[in-house]
Structure 1
């Protein structure tokens, strides 16, 4: 099946370059020069991934991303940011971006990032991958793997692909300390260029969903100088061994 990308960037040279390159790779790409008409576009056409520039006149990328997530739309979004704009990357991840790429970048990296996101989506929604997996109960929550739904007594919500992937990694390695490097390997594969800071932001997002008090987490605890540990019962964890 042909991958379909919507590129939103105000740089005409970049739009032309990516259209030419991605088109030669068999990828269907559409473009917008700003994000003002994004909602209307999505009402008539749904790409597989949105590639969204952060800095644009009019409706900027972060505003557009915020509107998408506020409406409940979990369509995959990759942000394009300047290499020095760490704050944009962090804020973008906190707001629900699936990934980010710093400018300038190699178009092959964009393809790799798109494929990684779509691969995680396919795996998380594949009936074969979810076969015989019973709902997992922890704390006050129940995770339904098949529907990607997190249920509690007072609410129920469908997790994004990124949130679901990270929670599943923690569940599969419960009570084991995971370094940030190991989390990157498990989530994105070896030799991926995600940073430790990016992992911290993804953990922060998951804590906002799971923890009664995110500033004093009980389910996803920090192991100082090592990484994170998932504690299903929410009791205080005393790490005995580091798992790299």
Structure 2
């Protein structure tokens, strides 16, 4: 958990220190940040499931997992999301095989979901809406960008293009481009994630503390007994 906290802190630093640019040149390198209106020539949707069309749509897979705190659908990072569409910001094409969003999940309700799929909507104990594919097994949620949305995009500048970069501590995972509403909100959301890691870490430490103290006392008792036996 300490490593996750550290990785999140590194990501916050990357977001904050990303270089703001309006255009990319061929010799520009490093992590850069573009802000502007999302534009797309095409409109896409998850045909047969969603009612609205978007500039870009990312479908995130979830799986049912159980722990001591209960059972819930958890994001399945081992599977790649499905992506439809593409967009441009300030005339620059934004293309990646995976995006990491700091925006709200697409609301799933009568306005966005086809009527014959409304019964599949699941929110559980969170504000994250999902569509259940198989009960207590698999589900999925959506992130969406519409033409005209003001967005902030962060990626790696290379050869005049904006390319995905690897998350700190997740070198084995697929590189991503970050998308959010604004720099401030992206930082705020990542700080919230970091705080959650810290709280869980402290909770785990408190659970393990009695056992740790017990082991220390046990070892200390053995040392005292051994010292007493060694005295004449």
How does the TM-score come out when normalised to structure 2? 0.28
More strand by share: 2
Pick 1 or 2: higher relative contact order, CA cutoff 8 A, min separation 6: 2
Task: Pick the structure with greater CA Rg.
Answer: 2
